[in-house]
Amino acid sequence: MGMPLRAALLERLKEKLLEKRRTLINTVREKQADNLETGSDGTQDIADQATTAYTKEFLLSISDTERQLLKQVDAALEKMRLKKYGECERCGEPIGEKRLEALSFALFCIACQEEEERS
């Protein structure tokens, strides 16, 4: 067990994650705006929708990379809620502050990430 992450750092990383999430969802929204002719009352908020469950349409409209990233961001946020943020999903060791600062949605420590990529 490593030291718990400092509250200030955690807060900053959470902001990063939320920002990343907003950016991703905005990208998707812009794509959808290009694809769809929405009526004046068609102000369906995909961002709000997406906070609970992703619709099929939503998932189909985004690329694999975006989908993967969004999943990772959500998983990281979920781990924050469970107070498990910063723990490696695979070995349970702390991921490391530097890595988290560089990659706020990292779910694995460097060693496990390499293992995952190899397999």
Instruction: Please report, for residues 6, 98, 105, 110, the alpha-carbon distance to residue 9 in angstroms, rounded to integers and kept in the order given.
Output: 5, 11, 14, 19
Closer residue to Zn ion in complex, CB, 3/8: 3
Reading the block at residue 38, the tokens are 């929405």
Closer residue to Zn ion in complex, CB, 66/89: 89
Reading the block at residue 108, the tokens are 């694995």
In whole angstroms, what is the distance from residue 76 CA to residue 100 CA? 10
Closer residue to Zn ion in complex, CB, 25/112: 112
Quick one: how far is CA 44 from the chain centroid?
22
State which of positions 90-119 bind Zn ion (CB under 5 A).
90-91, 109, 112
| Residues contacting Zn ion: total by CB under 5 A | 5
Q: Is residue 13 a contact point for Zn ion (CB under 5 A)?
A: no
Reading the block at residue 17, the tokens are 């994650």
Reading the block at residue 72, the tokens are 């990772």
Tell me the window of 37-45, 46-54, 66-74, 84-92 that interacts with Zn ion (CB under 5 A).
84-92
Minimum distance of Zn ion from residue 95's CB (angstroms): 7
95 within 8 A of 106, measured Cβ to Cβ: yes
Q: Is residue 88 a contact point for Zn ion (CB under 5 A)?
A: yes
Minimum distance of Zn ion from residue 49's CB (angstroms): 33
- Give contact residues for Zn ion (rule: CB under 5 A): 88, 90-91, 109, 112
